[in-house]
Structure 1
């Protein structure tokens, strides 16, 4: 086999090694660290030089003619560290010694060390130059081929004149041409790999965009579901409200008609009873209207808070007067407890605090049966109960029907109750807790709920002392 055939064999081996490198990177080194990938690539390039020598053309005096300098050219174009390129050149020179330590091997070591240093300098020039990469690579290939021919002619064991006249005319042009061919093949291979990486990146980007669109779709579907539920709840609210408004209004109209049609002989006691019922119905009707107005003001941001110094003693006294009679009528024990370390006054809105507590107590009495218990406790909390700061806590507890765990958030939404049907047992519009929650926020506090179905409920209103 001649020199040209051997060079073609070297080119085929280099292409095979490049393909092997791609397989190893894709299936073995893809998930390893960058340092390991870097070291492995250096070893692989040195191995490429050894392969060229293994399948090189052996002359007399142990001289091996091959394309071992081609991997060094590729390294000069590919790597960014000049020291790495010199190490590759020196490494290829050292593996020449594996075929025997002799004068030809020592000359080959010197040659590759010199070419490694030159390629390192060419790498520095390429990184600083602004000309196109194809021109940089062409100049590098030309310089390395010329220098390789001169080094072998000067340092090699074959006489200078004999090498330049007999071997150089064959090895020089063949090596230069095959170097360009391999560089073009490798360049095309790299471009294909780049396209694959870009396609993979585009696919990953499209996958992420698809996932984001899917999440947005789910959010829109959830929002549409919430809007549908809100529409349903408001429809139920309107039906409930018409029922709640109709009851006291019918009482007022019917009793007013009875009074109008009553004879002079009617007993005065009946008139007082009718008047009491009319008054109670009117109060219920007024409370419903006030709840609707308060909710509208809160949602519009127009509800005013009138803060002032208020005595904590006045609140339980007022609530006791309002609910004591109801407790006695239903046969419910009503306790009011006050801690001893309470401040004399706090700065807040008295009317809104009483409105919140009235809503909480009304619910407790409504859902507590005969022989039950309703308790209002007023205490001080300083960074306790998982809440930091100084707070006055108004706790309303009862032994009523309790609230299921999955309804704890629901009952604080407007127009919603644990049971939303018109014919529910206990009545109500579902506005009280929603208004109470919003009022608590406007007062700088919040409401907490602890309840289990069948075990009663505990609503705690937290208001800041300062």
Structure 2
């Protein structure tokens, strides 16, 4: 069936109409369907009631001309191509109608010539191109609107989540609420679950918009996998499952990858395995697929997560990596989720240079296998994967009668928390640092304020400054504080090597709580009274028997409601609240009153003086009349663009540290241009604030 082109002819001369109609009727391909009107009003009515592919418009229509009609069509938002018909060629008229929006122009004498048909075809092609452009623009606008909506949604959800999680942590911190620990932990756990769903949604949005970037760095594979095992084995233990990590082949000691995204994939797959397994075990298997010389293929590092869980039916496996897909049986089992986790895993694995697939048998279990590109590993020998002796998870608590001050140094916040959870079962005060530089600063500052640390637990593999470098720096400053190396590596002679470097002792990862207890007994003074009384939220669903020491730069007693001097005398058996030695003046700029009050409470608990302003204008007045060491500000304010305000604040307080605290991800380029020091994404915890404010 040949194409039918619908044409609207606007012509007030009947003879010209018959001439045009006769010619079009004689065309065999394409076929034309002609509608005739004599003026612009009738043309508008015809276009309102019917769709046309092309308009043929006479230049002179009584009192009207083609330019007038084109203006009428444009004002009524009709976008079809218009070809002007003229009685005779006039260059000036031709230019005028083309500028007015005509697709082309023809002399009426050319209606029966080949040029007439070419003009129609060219006009139709231009129409198709324009329609494609319009549709593409619509899609782009929809995508922009979607991205804007998701960004707004993220901000709007993160703000109330800040209050939910923050105030719950404050309640958990208060020892008076110990009878309600289980209920508060449930609130906190569900708040964290909401946050994880939100993060999945925003991650998927960034992936689909091709805005997710990798941060490739050198990763010690044994240490990395030991951390994964340490984080997840308690989750498995809670359900009576065992978590095993094995290697089928020798593997490189170091790989080049994005550790954050690789960790995200592994934690997602292992968490799913734990979630959908009621008895048996989960096994993470690692192997190196050597490159194929013949096909010039690079080596791939392969990971497999096997479980003995509920499995999946074969007909459901095809769509399991599609966004928002869930297995019906899984939903009926009330496991929840947005159906984004596996879709995100697939996209992340693809970005990491590999692929992911699944095999499963209903009722017997599933195996998820994925590869990543380990980078250039040709210059290093492959070694046996050794995570150290994996100790069984003990549920009994440690009741050590030791006191003193302990600094825990590790670049992974989860590992810092896990180690802190174990140490907190003694009577020691606990502080934290995320790398060697921060550790050195903490040690020097503690000595400066006559509150030296009694022991440092130092991870070896860290960014910025590793553990060995940090130890050497501490010793160069004349500090003979005991420092224990914490390492996932277990190669022959490592312990002796680290002792020669200056460490007092060595403990392996995953940390065995009883081995750590022995070290604490050796290096910490005996305690006659409890110096730490905080209670912290549970760590990622990990079981706890005693209060957990919150991660912050300095540990305090019970939460304080007011400032006290550092030399304030203590009364009674419990230690009084003590002002933090690094007290700072902090300006908080936040329009949400709940979020602002929470930030003020957190910062006060950390020992800082806080001034709160709810809009940009008041914040600028405060910056003019007073001095501040640190400014925390939201990007979304009622009277100012966040970045504009930040620039003005920076001008008034050039020596102040400036941190963005927002539900929106801050632009790194804009931050660098203005001189913004750091950014926190809501919801923020007291630990987050301690990491940037101190």
Larger proportion of strand: 2
Q: Taking structure 1 as the reference length, what is the TM-score of the superposition? A: 0.42
CA radius of gyration, larger in: 1
Larger proportion of helix: 1
